[in-house]
């Protein structure tokens, strides 16, 4: 292990030299031939500021003292994508992929566009894990940094529907925008989380990444549709690369997941319960909740002796194929419906936040005090809920 790391560090140093501010700190690499800033004092000031920004990137975004605050939300999106980017999963090594400054371009007399690549050398081959862009803005005693979202969307149009501000290029489907805003209000009402939502309607996920400053990320190879989202200081910012830029459609199911994550960290969310809520409130795969119920009833008729506990634990489907529907998710939709009717949505949040699905012990430990449903009586109690459909 040590020999591999030493060899990698040696080869990395050949690709550029290391700028280190203080003894013992890793600093970052500088690409060979980088033109940068002619004045050495100004260059050192920029490098010191950049090193400070990178040193703080793994922490709370709002506490990063090197962010230009007017662009906190957009920069938070970028920082979320940069977190953990140096870590090698298999080797369990921090800072395996090193940050390398590859380009510095003066945009005006007080701003520079910077490009960073995260690379390592493995078996004499340079391996790039990610590449990012950010803008450095001159201050009296250093530089602050922000994502290029505003710069890339200056010509975009705006439309507001209640608590949602839409950014789009040419046209927008107003009926769909109103429907999105209605779901937004409905979900936030349940979650008791007042917030302003700003949504950029992107053509696809690659465009969403580019807008916030992600030039490349190996983890997203081949992704055409996805969404970036962050929540900072009462502002939910979303770069939606799942919709088209004219907002002709949206998925209330996925929207539920996005909104829940502005309230609960992903590590606390039980996916089966989360999916159950999404079925109940937003349907699935373009189907309404009533349509999902119709398909489940057909499954029940075809399987009168179903063992609901085993189907739950085995993550079985009641519709298979490219757009599967899962028994566990539907059962949780029924449970959530009952809890909300009897005890209100705060009780649902207790079940939602019981932790990731592993052996389901955490789920049943949270479920029984809320509903009286346990592993022992699961089949009979779930059977009762199903018979009421």
136 and 217, same structural domain? Answer: no
6 shares its domain with 83: yes
Average pLDDT, the chain: 90
Tell me how many degrees the CA angle 372-374-378 measures, rounded to the nearest 5.
Answer: 105
93, 84 Cβ separation under 8 angstroms:
no
pLDDT digits (tens, 9 = 90+) for 188-215: 999 987 789 999 999 999 999 999 999 9
Per-residue pLDDT band at 264 (split at 50, 70, 90): very high
Q: Which residue has the tokens 């201050």?
A: 139
Residues 247 and 255 sit within 8 Å (Cβ to Cβ) = no
pTM of the model: 0.83
Structure tokens at 15: 């690709």
Task: Identify whether residues 105 and 138 lie together within a single domain.
Answer: yes
Q: In the chain, pLDDT over 70 holds for what percent of residues? A: 93
**The pLDDT of residue 182 is above 50:** yes
Q: How far apart are CA 93 and CA 42, in angstroms?
A: 34
Q: Which residue shows structure tokens 């079985």?
A: 316
> Is 195 found in the same domain as 90?
no
Q: Strand, coil or helix: what is 234?
A: coil
In this prediction, residue 335 has a pLDDT band, given cuts at 50, 70 and 90, of: very high
pLDDT of residue 284: 97
219 alpha-carbon distance from chain centroid:
13
Mean pLDDT of 369-377: 97
Q: In whole angstroms, what is the distance from residue 268 CA to residue 363 CA?
A: 11
245 in the same domain as 178: yes
Same domain, 318 and 367: yes
The SS3 of residue 353 is coil
| Range among 36-50, 82-96, 227-241, 275-289 with highest mean pLDDT value | 275-289
Locate 387 and state its tokens. 């018979």
- Report the number of distinct structural domains present in the chain: 3
The answer to whether 172 touches 246, Cβ cutoff 8 Å, is: yes
Report d(CA 257, CA 358) in Å as an integer: 19
CATH number of the domain encompassing residue 43: 3.10.450
Read off the pLDDT of residues 278-287 as tens digits, 9 standing for 90 and up: 999 999 999 9
Task: Say how many CA atoms lie within 13 Å of 23 toward its Cβ.
Answer: 0
Question: In the structure, how many helices (H) and strands (E) does the chain have?
Answer: 14, 14
> Which residues share a beta bridge with 143?
138
Residue 25 confidence (pLDDT): 43
| Domain-ending residue, one of 101, 118, 145 | 145
pLDDT digits (tens, 9 = 90+) for 73-111: 999 999 999 999 998 888 888 889 999 999 999 999 999
Q: In what order do the strands lie in the sheet with 157-161?
A: 157-161, 164-168, 196-201, 235-240, 227-232
Q: Which one of 237, 263, 289 terminates a domain?
A: 263
| Same domain assignment for residues 10 and 131 | yes
Q: Are 25 and 55 in contact (CB under 8 A)?
A: yes
- Considering the domain architecture, whether residues 281 and 194 belong to the same structural domain is answered as no
pLDDT tens profile 145-167: 999 999 999 999 999 999 999 99
Same domain, 351 and 294: yes
For residues 331 and 305, give the distance between their C-alpha atoms in angstroms, rounded to a whole number.
16
* Helices of type H across 86-198: 149-152, 174-191
Q: Apex CA 39: angle with CA 33 and CA 45, to 5°?
A: 95
pLDDT cut 90: percent of the chain above it = 75
Query: Does residue 160 share a domain with residue 129?
Result: no
276: containing domain: 271-387
Residue 91 CB contacts under 8 Å (≥ 6 apart), including other chains? 1, 4, 5
- My answer on whether 91 and 186 are in the same domain is no
Tokens of 265: 């960290």
**218 and 192 fall within a common domain:** yes
Query: Which contiguous run of DSSP H or E holds residue 117?
Result: strand 111-122
Query: Which residue among 263, 296, 327 closes a domain?
Result: 263
């Amino acid at each position: 292990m040590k020999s591999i790391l030493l060899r990698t560090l040696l080869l990395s140093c050949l690709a550029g030299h290391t700028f280190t501010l203080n003894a013992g700190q890793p600093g970052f690499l500088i690409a060979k031939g980088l033109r940068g800033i002619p004045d050495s004092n100004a260059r050192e000031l920029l490098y010191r500021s950049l090193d400070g920004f990178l040193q703080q990137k793994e922490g709370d975004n709002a506490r990063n003292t090197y962010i230009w605050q007017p662009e906190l939300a957009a920069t938070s999106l970028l920082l979320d994508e940069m977190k953990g980017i140096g870590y090698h999963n298999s080797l369990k090594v921090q800072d395996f992929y090193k940050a390398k400054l590859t380009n510095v371009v003066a945009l005006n007399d007080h701003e520079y566009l910077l490009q960073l690549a995260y690379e390592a050398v493995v078996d004499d081959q340079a391996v790039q894990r990610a590449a990012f862009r950010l803008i450095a803005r001159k201050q009296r005693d250093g530089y602050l940094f922000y994502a290029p979202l505003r710069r890339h969307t200056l010509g975009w149009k705006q439309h507001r529907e209640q608590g949602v501000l839409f950014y789009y290029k040419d046209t927008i489907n107003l009926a769909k925008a109103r429907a999105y805003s209605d779901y937004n209000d409905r979900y936030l009402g349940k979650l008791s989380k007042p917030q302003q939502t700003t949504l950029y309607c992107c053509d696809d996920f690659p465009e969403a990444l580019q807008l916030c400053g992600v030039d490349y990320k190996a983890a997203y190879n081949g992704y055409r549709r996805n969404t970036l989202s962050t929540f900072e200081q009462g502002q939910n910012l979303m770069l939606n690369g799942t919709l088209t830029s004219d907002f002709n459609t949206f998925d209330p199911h996925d929207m539920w997941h996005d909104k829940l994550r502005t309230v609960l960290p992903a590590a606390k969310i039980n996916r089966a319960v989360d999916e159950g809520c999404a079925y109940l409130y937003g349907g699935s795969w373009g189907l309404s909740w009533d349509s999902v119920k119709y398909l489940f009833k057909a499954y029940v008729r075809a399987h009168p002796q179903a063992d609901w506990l085993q189907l739950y634990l085995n993550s079985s489907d009641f519709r298979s194929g490219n757009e599967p529907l899962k028994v566990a998710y539907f059962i949780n939709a029924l449970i959530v419906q009952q809890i909300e009717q009897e005890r209100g949505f705060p009780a649902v949040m207790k079940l939602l936040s019981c932790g990731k699905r592993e052996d389901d012990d955490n789920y049943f430990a949270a479920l029984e005090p809320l509903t009286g449903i346990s592993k022992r009586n699961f089949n009979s109690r779930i059977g009762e809920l199903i018979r009421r459909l």
